Structures are given as C-alpha cells and as structure tokens.
C-alpha cells in the first residue's frame, strides 16, 4: 500500500470507529507515534500545529481521554478551546446538539467530542466541516483508546503480535464497555492470528455482533464467566470496570454485586495462573477489578505505559489528520 492511500485514510478524516483503519494505516500510525515520544517529553520542541485550534468538547465525564487529547495538541504547538463544564454551555438553555456542533465547528480546525449516546460522534461528523474525533460515544465505540491499547500491546509484547498467535482475555462488563467494542475489531485488523477469551457473566457478555465479527474474521473466541479459565492462555489481559451507570435496573446492579468479587485480579492469581510475561492492561478508571498489589508488577501497563501512549497516539493522529507528516522528514 503506498503513502497516498495512507494519506487518504487519515488526512481530513473523521475518526469514528475502529473499523475504519487498515493494517498498513495502523502500522504507519504506530511507528509515527514512537517518533512523538521525544516531543511529548520535551526533549525536542515543535510548533508544527502552531495556529491550529482543537475543540475539546466533552459532554460526559473524562479524565484521560480529554486531558491527553489536549496535551497532545498543545505539545505539537496547537491550542485548545474547551468548556469549563458542559453545564455552562447553551445546551442547558435548550440549544440542540446540531446547533451546538455547527457553532463550535466554526471555532476550530479539528474537534474531539464525547457525548452520551452511541452514534452521536457520527452525527456530529455529518454536521461539522472539520474532522471529528470520537472520544467515546455512549456504549458505542472509543477508537482512539483502541489505538493506544493496540499500540501498547504491540510495543510491550515480547513477540510480534501482528504475525504470531496472540491471545487476549477481555474481562468485565463487555456488554456496555465501549473500549472493548473498539479493541476487538481493531485487533482483528492488526493481527494475523488473534484469539479472544471473553470473560464476563452471561448478562454482560460481548454483544453477539462483535463475537460474530471476530469469528467471521477467523479469530477463535471462547466465552466464559470464570476468570482463571479466561486468563490462563492469555498473552494479554484487558480488564474493564462495570459500567454501573449503564446497567438497566437495580436487579442487574444486584446481579453484578453477586459476581463482582469473582472477576477481580490480584497478584497471587497472576503468578499462579497466567503466562510469565502476560501483559496486564486496563483503560482506566478502575474500580476494584485489579487489586493494587498488581500495580508494581513489571508487566502491569495501565498506570504508566498506556497513559503515556495515549498522548503519543493522539499526537500522531493529529499530525496525520491535519496532514503534517512531511514536516517531520
Ligand atoms: C474509558 C471510557 O471512558 O470509555 N476510559 C477511558 O477513556 N480511558 C473506560 C470506562 O469508562 O470504563
């Protein structure tokens, strides 16, 4: 695949779904992200996005996605506009989503948004003239998180996950967690031989369409509600929190309480049941699903590596979308 195709894949594009990328595009983005590290650490300075403005419009809670997107843009010399709090936007005065997006679109060159419902980032992209990056739409997708998670797996695994068999256990609320809804399709694109262990109580299992997508792409899928069975064969474990705010009723929340303790990972369990170099990952925020005794293990990647990679990946993505790669040769 030539550079022009990759350029068309990113330049001026909305980033709405993990399914929009090709393997070649992912690999180019990941190798570019590596080049961003020195800038992110201020060893090298750049003004490559000087004069550009990113709109950072988060209408739902966020720590990492919002702040890493903003840090990424500013590390490249760009500036950011944002709401102090969406409660101070005119949406509370009854302004429609459509009018709000049309307005903020004219203030910026690219926007990252998080909204409440699946599909709303795509709707914003239809309204906005500038590229829209989906920072998480309800229980829909979270494509930039999948980019940073896949990049982390690729750089931290002791073998080439794109070519060799790679087994990932995804554990927790797989029904509503948007990060896993993006990660599964992205890994099927990136890897020749990825296998999935979906570990969840039945009522929170992975949506059928994603199970089918993985199987249709030739990826073995195992469903289990037993943590130890799920993590045993895994090269990487990806834990997610219960999306309590999206559970349908108190009955579901009670059902979760009944099984939550059985889906918590701790250090003795990893040492006894996992492969020696297993990667332990989590998009964060965590509740109780990873005990703090795991944090200091060398293969626990969630508190440092994934977080740092979130900035690098978002920097690379901004450069690609705004078509500034050639400034780095
Ligand atoms: C997640 C999100 O908001 O989807 N976190 C993140 O963006 N790093 C995970 C979650 O809320 O469970």
* Number of CB atoms found within 10 A of residue 12's CB: 12
Ligand 1 contact, 281 CB (< 6 A): no
pLDDT tens readout for residues 235-283 = 999 999 999 989 999 999 999 999 999 999 999 999 999 999 999 999 9
Q: How far apart are the first and last CA of the chain?
A: 20
What's the pLDDT at 201? 97
C-alpha 1 – ligand 1 centre gap (Å): 33
Helix runs in 78-164, H state only: 97-105, 120-127, 143-156
What's the pLDDT at 315? 98
Strand order in the sheet with 110-115: 79-82, 53-58, 110-115, 132-137
231's tokens: 């993590």
Residues 6+ apart with CB under 8 A from 249: none
Ligand 1 contact, 64 CB (< 6 A): yes
The protein residue whose alpha carbon is closest to atom 7 in ligand 1 is 65
Ligand 1 contact, 145 CB (< 6 A): yes
C-alpha 243 – ligand 1 centre gap (Å): 9
What's the pLDDT at 328? 85
* DSSP sequence for 31-65: HHHHHTHHHHTTSS---TTTT-EEEEEESS--SHH
Bridge partners, 106 (sequence order): none
Closest ligand 1 atom to 173 CA = 12
What's the pLDDT at 86? 74
pLDDT averaged per 10 residues, the chain (length 329):
80 97 97 96 95 95 95 98 81 87 96 94 97 96 98 98 98 97 98 98 97 98 98 98 92 92 96 97 97 97 97 98 90
CA distance 183 to 308: 18
pLDDT tens readout for residues 72-118 = 999 999 999 998 777 777 877 888 989 999 999 999 999 999 998 99
CB 227 within 8 A of CB 271: no
Closest ligand 1 atom to 177 CA = 12
Ligand 1 contact, 114 CB (< 6 A): no
**Pocket mutation for ligand 1, best pick of 69, 135, 136 (most atoms within 8 Å of C-beta):** 136
CB 198 within 8 A of CB 206: yes
What's the pLDDT at 1? 56
CA distance 309 to 152: 7
CA distance 110 to 291: 38
C-alpha 138 – ligand 1 centre gap (Å): 10
282's tokens: 């989590």
Residues 6+ apart with CB under 8 A from 108: 53, 54, 55, 81, 130
Ligand 1 contact, 144 CB (< 6 A): no
C-alpha 283 – ligand 1 centre gap (Å): 6
CA distance 222 to 230: 8
Query: Which one, of 324, 326, 329, lies nearest residue 76 by Cα?
Result: 324
CA distance 10 to 295: 35
CB 239 within 8 A of CB 171: yes
* DSSP sequence for 291-324: -GGGTTSTTB-TTTHHHHHHHHHHHHHHHHHTT-
CB 189 within 8 A of CB 22: yes
Ligand 1 contact, 181 CB (< 6 A): no
C-alpha 3 – ligand 1 centre gap (Å): 32
- What SS3 state is found at 1? coil
Torsion angle, alpha carbons of 41, 45, 48, 51, to 10: 100
């Amino acid at each position: 695949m030539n550079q022009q195709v990759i350029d068309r894949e990113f330049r001026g594009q909305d980033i709405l779904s993990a399914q929009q990328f090709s393997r070649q595009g992912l690999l180019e983005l990941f190798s570019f992200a590596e080049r961003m590290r020195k800038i992110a650490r201020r060893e090298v300075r750049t003004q490559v996005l000087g004069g550009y403005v990113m709109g950072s419009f988060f209408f739902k809670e966020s720590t990492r996605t919002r702040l890493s997107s903003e840090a990424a843009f500013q590390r490249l010399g760009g500036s950011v506009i944002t709401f102090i709090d969406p409660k101070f936007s005119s949406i509370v005065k009854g302004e429609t989503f459509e009018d709000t997006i049309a307005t903020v679109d004219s203030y910026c060159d690219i926007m990252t948004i998080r909204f409440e419902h699946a599909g709303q980032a795509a709707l914003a992209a239809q309204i906005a003239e500038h590229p829209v990056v989906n920072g998480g739409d309800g229980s829909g997708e979270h494509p930039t998180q999948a980019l940073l998670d896949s990049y982390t797996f690729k750089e931290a695994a002791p073998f080439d996950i794109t070519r060799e068999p790679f087994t990932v256990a995804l554990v927790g609320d797989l029904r509503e967690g948007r990060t896993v809804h993006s990660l599964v399709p992205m890994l099927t694109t990136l890897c020749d031989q990825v296998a999935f262990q979906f570990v969840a109580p039945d009522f929170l299992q992975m949506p059928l369409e994603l199970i089918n997508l993985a199987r249709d792409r030739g990826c073995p899928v195992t469903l289990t509600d037993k943590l130890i069975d799920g993590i045993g064969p895994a090269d990487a474990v990806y834990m997610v929190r219960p999306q309590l705010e999206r559970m349908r009723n108190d009955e579901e929340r009670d059902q979760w309480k009944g099984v939550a303790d059985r889906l918590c990972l701790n250090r003795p369990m990893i040492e006894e049941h996992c492969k020696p170099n297993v990667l332990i990952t989590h998009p964060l925020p965590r509740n109780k699903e990873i005990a703090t005794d795991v944090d200091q293990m060398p293969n626990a990647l969630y508190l440092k590596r994934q977080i740092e990679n979130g900035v690098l990946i978002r920097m690379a993505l901004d450069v690609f979308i705004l078509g500034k790669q050639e400034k780095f040769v």
